[in-house]
Amino acid sequence: MGTDRKLLSNPHLPKGRPRAGRISIPGRCYFITKSVAGRKSNPLIQDPRFSLQNKDECNVVIDTLRWMSENRRIRVHGYVLMPDHIHLQFSLRYVQPLSQVMSSFFTWTSRNINRSKERTGRFWRREYHDTRIKDDQSCWSHINYIRYNPVRTEYVDRPKDWPYMETFPDW
């Protein structure tokens, strides 16, 4: 019981009740998956064969990741934008807990993607899945998952051919 109280009083945990097992630790690496709310009716990328048609919407997400990295919210290790979801791996900086970082990221991108699509309503699903990366093997395994996601789905033959995937960006 004493350990549980320590976890609940941790200043790095979000206010309110975190999802069971969700712990926010500055400096730790996380792998996030989040889906688009209307996966079929309102995808991020309409047709993967012509992925550059949705360049503006995808750039909202990429530019926001860049801004969050440059402003020391997170350190991005890799991301891939798929038609109906995103995978993101990053280290959490010391500014905000995980829940606040994710909330601000998805609120900002949702608002701006909706503006570019001239629509309103929820863009992203409410929930996201997070995995705390515990060692180098897990880190590289998740980075490879990011890299090969567009290949596994047969959108491209090689990871470098997918325009909305990057690992270890220099920003």
User: Domains in the chain, start-ordered, CATH in brackets?
Assistant: 24-167 (3.30.70.1290)
What would the pLDDT profile of 106-143 be if each residue is shown by its tens digit? Answer: 999 999 999 988 989 899 999 999 999 999 999 999 99
Residue 127 · residue 115 · CB < 8 Å: no
Residue 60 · residue 113 · CB < 8 Å: yes
Instruction: Provide the token pair at 16.
Output: 């309110």
Q: What are phi and psi of 17, to 5 degrees?
A: -95, 120
pLDDT of residue 19: 60
Strand partners, 85: 35
| Statement: the pTM of the whole predicted model exceeds 0.85 | no
Pairing of strands 85-92, 129-133: unpaired
**What contacts 48, CB < 8 A, 6 or more positions away?**
83, 150, 153, 155
What would the pLDDT profile of 145-155 be if each residue is shown by its tens digit? Answer: 999 999 999 99
Instruction: Provide the token pair at 15.
Output: 């206010």
Q: Which helix (H) or strand (E) holds 35?
A: strand 29-35
The length of the chain in residues reads 171
- pLDDT mean over 75-95: 95
pLDDT of residue 15: 39
